[in-house]
């Protein structure tokens, strides 16, 4: 697959719409108010410069070839030597306002940078990096505010030898995108600090981690609630104290009810010991009273929850065995008890239902179809998506988009994370500690962690009809601190997650906290 490099061509873009182009002999840039050849179908395979598009840099690395997303052909960037190339199209005569570029992309990864940009539109350039996806096509979006009646659509690669991207089926329409939630779970923080945990800015100044994260762009905190945990953390009293801190920092608050004394997830949904012998009817009352009690206390102290999860990763139900998915009628009753309690405290607080396995289309459909047919009430859908467990980014996009459209609800990532290194900072083995466990194209470095988060955020941003709310990082502040291990009943337990925090082993905020400034 060798493509001879063509001569470098420089094009001078007009400063204002309609000004005659100063063109080099090779070609002139087309100016139109709508995209020309947006699916790269006009020329067939091997087109050195696709019709309607211009190139700059190592132009031999930009070409049309077979293997389109919807049609027969696509734009590709590739060369056998390191290259820098831009493929662009200039639009003029635009009505000023908000626009959204949508594109289908793939990338083998490894580039210094690979992104789609909207520039020369009158304001700041807007970019979306291409996620690494070597097989499945992904849809990404770039929004911009046009203020000078023109805009340039730009596909850029600064690549090493053999790196490649595919781009296809672009649309440029009115509209905008962005994420309302750039959040993090900080449930581990109070215990960490009580046990001596320290948090620093990137430059090494000790500070309040909530403030440090806020300054990075975080706008939403997630706090889990256990009923009567062995260590006395993540209970009602601790959540009330943490909520004051969150709200004082100007953050919104997601309250995550586990309905357990310890971790609830697809493999464990143990009843709290205080509810152990209760009947199904009593459990419905327990769920209502516990949910109401915590949320009403939050409201009373002026820190009303902004969103509530009724259950945590409830793929198999909750409050086993009574609330198992093997008895959907009872599970529905328990979920609706939680929903009703949330609304009784504050009718405008959205209720989320949260599943793990964010790349499992079949399982997600089965669960929510069952919920709907059993009359379960909910307002939003939260999915956990860990790329080393839950499938590819393409699987995730398919599942997320389907959930949003099939149920007509906003969706968000309730949990995701990625390692910035593989070795451990305590004597406890990390859950992800082998390079073979990583997602292809995303190294275990702060840069790889940042790229992962931006990829996940970009997929949520691209959910159609504005239904992608945002992302919560899990678990931002869970650094290795003696006594703050995973098991609330065992003070000697370690933390298998410190290599996926957003603070390094030197306690400094990592460069990957920049993901919080995603649009």
Active site residues: 313, 415
Adjacent-strand bridge partners of 206: 200
Can you spell out the DSSP letters for 264-285?
A: -BTTB-PPPGGGTT--HHHHHH
d(CA 132, CA 140): 12
Quickly list H helices, 411-468: 446-461
Cα 279 versus chain centre, distance: 39
Q: Which helix (H) or strand (E) is 460 found in, with range?
A: helix 446-461
d(CA 456, CA 182): 11
Q: How many CB atoms lie within 10 A of CB 302?
A: 9
CA distances from 103 to 38, 170, 208, 303, 363 (A): 9, 4, 40, 40, 28
Pairing outcome for strands 83-92 and 31-32: parallel
> Cis peptide leading into 277, omega within 30 of 0?
no
Q: Quote the longest CA-to-CA distance of the chain.
A: 84
Adjacent-strand bridge partners of 75: 64, 167
């Amino acid at each position: 697959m060798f493509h001879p490099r063509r001569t470098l061509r420089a094009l001078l873009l007009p400063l204002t719409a309609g000004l005659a182009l100063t063109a080099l002999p090779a070609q002139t840039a087309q100016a139109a108010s709508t995209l020309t050849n947006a699916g790269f179908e006009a020329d067939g395979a091997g087109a050195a410069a696709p019709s309607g598009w211009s190139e700059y840099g190592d132009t031999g690395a930009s070409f049309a070839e077979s293997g389109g997303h919807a049609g027969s052909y696509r734009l590709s960037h590739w060369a056998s030597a390191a290259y820098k190339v831009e493929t662009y199209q200039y639009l003029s005569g635009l009505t000023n306002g908000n626009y959204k570029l949508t594109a289908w992309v793939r990338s083998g990864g490894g580039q210094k940078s690979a992104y789609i940009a909207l520039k020369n539109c009158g304001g700041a350039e807007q970019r979306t990096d291409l996620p690494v996806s070597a097989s499945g096509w992904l849809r990404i979006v770039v929004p911009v505010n046009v203020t000078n009646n023109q805009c340039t659509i730009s596909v850029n690669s600064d690549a090493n030898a053999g790196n490649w991207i595919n781009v296809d089926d672009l649309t440029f329409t009115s509209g905008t995108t962005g994420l309302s939630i750039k959040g993090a779970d900080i449930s581990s923080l109070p215990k960490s600090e009580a046990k001596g945990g320290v948090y620093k800015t990137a430059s090494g100044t000790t500070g309040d981690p909530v403030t440090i994260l806020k300054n990075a762009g975080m706008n939403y905190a997630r706090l889990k609630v256990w009923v009567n945990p062995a260590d006395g953390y993540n209970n009602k009293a601790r959540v009330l104290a943490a909520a004051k801190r969150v709200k004082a920092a100007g953050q919104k608050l997601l309250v995550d009810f586990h309905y357990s004394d310890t971790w609830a997830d697809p493999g464990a949904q143990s009843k709290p010991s205080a509810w152990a012998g209760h009947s199904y009817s009593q459990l419905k009352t327990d769920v209502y009273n516990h949910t109401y009690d915590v949320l009403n206390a939050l409201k009373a102290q002026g820190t009303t929850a902004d969103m509530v999860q009724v259950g945590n990763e409830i793929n198999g139900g909750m409050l086993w065995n009574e609330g198992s998915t093997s008895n959907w009628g009872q599970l529905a009753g328990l979920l609706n008890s939680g929903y009703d309690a949330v609304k009784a405290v504050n009718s405008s607080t959205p209720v989320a239902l949260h599943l793990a396995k964010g790349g499992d289309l079949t399982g997600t459909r089965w669960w929510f179809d069952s919920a709907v047919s059993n009359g379960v009430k909910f307002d939003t859908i939260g999915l956990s998506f860990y790329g080393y467990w839950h499938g590819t980014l393409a699987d995730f996009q398919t599942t997320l988009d389907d959930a949003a459209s099939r149920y007509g609800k906003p969706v968000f990532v309730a949990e995701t994370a990625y390692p910035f290194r593989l070795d451990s900072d305590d004597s406890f083995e990390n859950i992800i500690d082998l390079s073979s466990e990583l997602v292809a194209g995303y190294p275990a470095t702060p840069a790889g962690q940042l790229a992962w988060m931006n990829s996940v955020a970009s997929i949520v941003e691209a959910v159609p009809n504005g239904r992608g709310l945002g992302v919560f990082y899990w678990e931002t502040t869970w650094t290795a601190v003696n006594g703050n291990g995973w098991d609330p009943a065992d003070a000697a337990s370690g933390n298998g997650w410190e290599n996926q925090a957003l603070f390094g082993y030197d306690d400094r905020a990592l460069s990957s906290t920049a993901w919080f400034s995603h649009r």
